[in-house]
Amino acid sequence: MKTFTVEEISQIVGGMLTKAADAKISQIAPPLLADENTLALALGEEEIANLAKSQAKAALVPLGVQIDGLTTIEVERPRLAMMKLLNLFYVAPEVNKGIHPTATVHETAKLGENVQIGPNVVVSRNAVIGDNTKILANSFIGGGVKIGKNCFFHAGVNIGDRVQVGNDVILHHGVSLGADGFSFVTENPDNIEQARKEGAIKEENIQQVIFKIPSIGAVVIGNNVEIGANTTIDRGTIENTVIGDNTKIDDLVMIGHNCKIGKGCLIVSQVGIAGSCVIGDRVVIAGQAGLADHINIGSDTIITAKAGVTKSFPEKSIVVGIPAVPRKEFIKQLKTMKDAQEIFAKFRKYEPMLNAFEEAHKED
């Protein structure tokens, strides 16, 4: 078990130490779950209040918070300090050294130094895996795949042919990179084409045959990207689907074929991005938002949770609602609805008087 003094932890997080007692810290926890060997994480007002009920001798607190009789480490950015502490106490998943005997590595594959391959992993023809990359059990690496250095793939990752993965990439359980895009065509205009062109569905194509459009592009993942469990990113139809450097993608995200995602983006769980979208740099897309195909989202835009985005937005937009509109317009719509409710309430109040007036003046 790792153990640290409060002085050591204060130096690690760059905090200001106010020492009331000696403490040997072997774990971190919220105040109510902390004991005397635990550093209590009191990042918000409720947790700070809970310190009075805690058994902890020491706590990490925001700058300016001091508790009598308690050793405190004050930090300007508590979540940043928490990240450093979690890395300090984090225990990485166990990986076997070298190549597990049950793994299948094609004779044409090229493995760098200190590559670790887990049980039942398949590495296909002409795949290239960089130094210090670790691939856990039951993963599949397709033909011609290029994987950079210092990557970590959790169990059950599936990577299709010709996919390129940069350095320092983390793929969580069940990630799928490089499946075929959802791309089809019919011999005659189908219902979707009619609706887009005419605004109505006029023809009945009962015998319509749907033909699959093959995907011959690939997926290119930049450096320092992290992709959450069971997220899928489809290969491009002709050109590549691209994920920029430093982008972080949550669990259960779907990114369609031909999409271009910029650098430093945050994409939260259950987001769906349809094919051929272009997303700028540092864009945040909150949970369960959906983006229609062939739209552009400018850099530094925030798309809020459950937004239904059906059109393009310029950079630095804040996008809200279904269908999604700029935040200021959304607030205006809410105000209009509130005003309409008040007007309707007044109408109901005076409706009997109006009816009586109309009744009295029928003959006029």
Task: Read off the pLDDT of residues 30-51 as tens digits, 9 standing for 90 and up.
Answer: 999 999 999 999 999 999 999 9
Distance from C-alpha of 335 to C-alpha of 311, rounded to nearest angstrom: 23
pLDDT at residue 364 in the model:
58
Sequence letter at residue 129:
I
DSSP label of 23:
-
pLDDT of residue 154: 97
Q: What is the structure's pLDDT at 107?
A: 97
Collapse the DSSP code of 284 into the 3-class scheme (helix H, G, I; strand E, B; otherwise coil) and give the result: strand
**Average pLDDT for residues 78-106, to the nearest whole number?**
92
> Is the model's pLDDT at 144 over the cut of 90?
yes
In degrees and rounded to multiples of 5, residue 25 shows phi and psi of -100, 120
Average pLDDT of the residues in 74-101: 92
In tens, the pLDDT along 251-274 reads 999 999 999 999 999 999 999 999
Give the rounded percent of residues in the chain with a pLDDT score beyond 90.
Answer: 75
Chain mean position to CA 298: 18
Single out the catalytic residue among 106, 154, 172, 257. 257
Q: Can you give the pLDDT at residue 301?
A: 98
The confidence score (pLDDT) of residue 156 equals 97
pLDDT the model gives residue 2: 83
Mark whether 257 is an active-site residue.
yes
Q: Which residues are within 8 A (CB) of 320 and not within 5 positions of it... i.e. 6 or more apart?
A: 304, 307, 326, 327, 330
Q: Report whether pLDDT(203) > 90.
A: no
> What pLDDT does 187 receive?
81
| Rounded CA separation 28/41 (Å) | 7
Q: 221 pairs with which residues across the strands?
A: 165, 243
Q: What is the pLDDT of residue 19?
A: 87
Residue 198 Cα to chain centre, angstroms: 37
pLDDT value at 1 more than 90: no
- The answer to whether residue 209 scores a pLDDT higher than 90 is no
* Residue 103, both tokens: 């793994």
Contact 232, 222 (CB under 8 A): no
The average pLDDT across 199-212 equals 79
8 Å CB contact between 163 and 218: yes
Q: DSSP letters along 26-67, please?
A: -EEE-GGG--TTEEEE--SHHHHHHGGG---SEEEEETT---
Instruction: Locate 222 and state its tokens.
Output: 């930049």
Task: Tell me if 140 sits within 8 A of 156, measured CB to CB.
Answer: no
At 329, the amino acid letter reads E
- Mean pLDDT within 95-116: 96
Which one-letter amino acid corresponds to residue 311? K
198 versus 99: the higher-pLDDT residue is: 99
Q: Which residues pair with 122 in a beta bridge?
A: 104, 140
**Which pLDDT belongs to residue 326?**
87
Counting residues of the chain whose pLDDT is more than 70, the rounded percentage is 99
**Mean pLDDT computed over 133-154:** 98
Q: Considering only CA atoms, which of 201, 256, 263 is closest in space to residue 232?
A: 256
Q: Which residue has the higher pLDDT, 324 or 175?
A: 175
The answer to whether residue 174 scores a pLDDT higher than 90 is yes
- Both tokens of 296, joined, read 């552009």
Please report the pLDDT score of residue 149 as a whole number.
98
pLDDT top residue among 167 and 339? 167
Token pair of 151 as six digits: 């990557």
Mean pLDDT of 124-142: 98
Average pLDDT over residues 89-104: 91
Mean pLDDT of 345-351: 77
- pLDDT of 311: 96
Smallest CA-to-CA distance from 251 within 172, 329, 305, 196 is with 172
H or E element, residue 335: helix 327-360
pLDDT at 327: 81
Alpha carbon of 342 to those of 193, 262, 348, 349: distances in Å? 42, 45, 10, 11
Rg (CA), the chain: 28
